[in-house]
Amino acid sequence: MRHEKSPVLPVTPGPGAGVRGAIAGNLRRTRLARGHSVRELAELTGVSKALISQIERGVANPTIEVLTRLAGALELTFAELTRIHLLEPEVIRRGEGATEMAGDTTVRSLFAAADRRRFELAEGDLPPMTRSAKSAHGRGSIEHAYVVAGQVSVETEAWAVRLGEGDAVRFAAELDHVYVTGEAGCRVLTLISFSED
């Protein structure tokens, strides 16, 4: 079988290092579990032994085509090959996390799934007498909201619901919706789950 020249992109440190490490571990674990040597996997996929070895050491940035071939030969989905597994807890302390202002509302992003952006967890602080910007999160998205303190109304064109401290709501977030406070402000946690599409 003809082996392609190793298509390797320059390795740069940063967010991709976590993905490279996940791919390295997932590839090696699965290859060994399936009983393949590096040479056998190279013959099955047409990917050079050198490139497979570099991927397993986490020093290569393989193309999507190469990863797709490797996943197919190992009977994995692309998502399974690239999924990051948490080996240790990830902690975000008070005052940490990406904070941004959306009008008068302060939104602190807590966790977002890196693999295909399946969900996003955020904390919102809405001052009194505030109407958040209208938002919608795409077809099939679901938003969960939990009121930590204060009161807030969640409103769409079709319905409105008033929530107090300790209340929660879940709704189709593909609809435009707003959060509205009254005399008191509100702190709310939101979890948005995105469609697999």
DSSP string, 48-112: -HHHHHHHHTT--EE-HHHHHHHHHHTT--HHHHHPPPPSS-----TT-SEEEEETTEEEEEEEE
Do 8-82 and 98-193 fold alike per CATH?
no
CB 134 within 8 A of CB 177: yes
Q: Domain residue spans in the chain?
A: 8-82, 98-193
Note if the pTM is more than 0.95. no
Residues paired with residue 135 on neighbouring β-strands, in sequence order: 177
* Per-block mean pLDDT, blocks of 10 residues, the chain (197 long): 38 52 89 92 94 92 92 89 68 71 76 62 92 87 91 93 92 91 93 77
Label residues 47-69 b or e (16+ Cβ within 10 Å = b).
bbbebbebbbebebbbeeebbeb
Residue 149, pLDDT score: 95
Rounded distance between C-alpha atoms, residue 171 and residue 169, angstroms: 7
Please say whether the structural domain 98-193 has been given the CATH code 2.40.30.10: no
Q: Counting Cβ atoms within 10 Å, is residue 34 exposed (0-12), middle (13-18) or buried (19+)?
A: middle
**Model confidence over 88-124: pLDDT tens digits?**
556 666 777 777 777 777 777 776 655 445 788 889 9
Rounded distance between C-alpha atoms, residue 141 and residue 68, angstroms: 27
Residue in the structure block whose two tokens are 């939104």: 107
CATH number for 8-82 (one of 2.60.40.1180, 3.30.1600.10, 3.30.750.24, 1.10.260.40): it is 1.10.260.40
Residue 9, pLDDT score: 35
